[in-house]
Amino acid sequence: MKPVKVGLLGMGTVGTGVIRIVEGYQEDLQKQVGSPIQIEKVLVQDRSKARRYSIDPNKLTENAWDIIDSPDIDVVVEVMGGIETTKQYILAALERGKHIVTANKDLMALHGTEILAKANEKGCDVFYEASVAGGIPIIRTLIEGFSSDRITKIMGIVNGTTNYILTKMSQEGASYGDVLKEAQQLGYAESDPTSDVEGLDAARKMAILSTLGFHANVELSDVGVKGISQVSKEDIVYGQRLGYEIKLLGIAERQDDLIAVSVQPTMVKKSHPLASVNGVFNAVYVHGEAVGETMFYGPGAGEMPTATSVVADLVAVVKNLKLGVNGQRVFVPYKEKKLKTDDQIASKYYLLLHVADKAGVLAKITQVFAEHEVSLESVVQQPNSNTVNAEIIIITHDASKASMNQVLKHFESLDVIHEIKSVYRVEG
């Protein structure tokens, strides 16, 4: 049997995992696809570097074009990361008729439309399951599992770093800064954690998921983003007292073909399954008109979970090769993108206000809500022993984002409100 030959761009954590699986599970893979799968060439930065996993040094190259230009290589697996150079490599490989498997969420969020169009033109496969939620097969599920349904909502914890930080803050009462340092020491957070903690990583993943789920080209710039760096111990404690956990959620909603996508710290009711997703784990909740509520849970990163998703895509490419149907499953958005306005985006809200501790304050605040037609679900007022202020915690009923913005603007002009301490969306 003639082997299917693979070129691997990158031999870091995930690349090493891919080689481990392909070489270690060769018999199982052959049974699935009907021929051997062979790692032919591996792009590395330094061929002389000592490696955790032994590989034939003759397979290593420092020149990506040794892989891209090779007529023997059928599939290029990209796990090197980066955007512009990587995009150049992938487009060049597609131009030469090679199929692509990538774990690169940044690339697919920013240039996925162009890459998929080139794949469509050349009759090539491009699979990117590992780009979102590591070992959870969520992309294949959206494309295939929900092909007969109409998805109305995708909501998930898609960044393990922020979930780890919020979990530790919740369970141990630790401060954001202390947990972030610990996460960096453990390797869960980068030395520059901005992409994770400010929600950019999650936003890229939500752009990919909402494009697939809603069949419209949702771009990164369409995603409203707010990170967790302002979440305080106070927010965590008060949320728990009211029956909520704070999670950084990606939320994509569709109603009458109008779409809204955001990433933001969210008060999640403790009875909702997402509230109990802790540590570095990811979970994605999908609501379909026909199937109702479903949730997918698992490790969101790591060598072997992510490599498992990469190799699953590789198996899919090879099966298509055997059947002669490559390029027929390339996903191209076909619906016009229509984004909701702030008037059309509705949710419950949690507010924590520091106010003057005197009579009549609550009446003034509730009057502002009434003026902007925002009704209240609950109001809790309590003194704060650390300040001269009183604290008011409010949960609203569903209100439009535009109305809430007007309320907050009005609050800024009220002398009895000393600080709008926190504002979070409420789910579940």
In DSSP notation, 8-47 reads EE--SHHHHHHHHHHHHTHHHHHHHHSS-EEEEEEE-S-T
Distances (CA, A) of 91 to 75, 86, 146: 13, 9, 29
The token duo for 389 is 């202020």
**Contact predicate 171/277, CB 8 Å:** no
Task: Phi first, then psi: give them for residue 172, nearest 5 degrees.
Answer: -115, -5
Q: Which residue of the set 98, 122, 205, 421 is catalytic?
A: 205
How far apart CA 391 and CA 353 sit, in angstroms, is: 6
| Site of tokens 């049997």 | 1
Alpha helices by DSSP H, 277-324: 303-323
Strand partners, 353: 392, 420
269 catalytic? Reply is no
How far apart CA 47 and CA 58 sit, in angstroms, is: 9
Neighbours of 270 (CB within 10 A): 14
Angle at 187 between CA 305 and CA 13, to 5 degrees: 40
DSSP three-state, residue 183: helix
* Residues marked as catalytic: 205
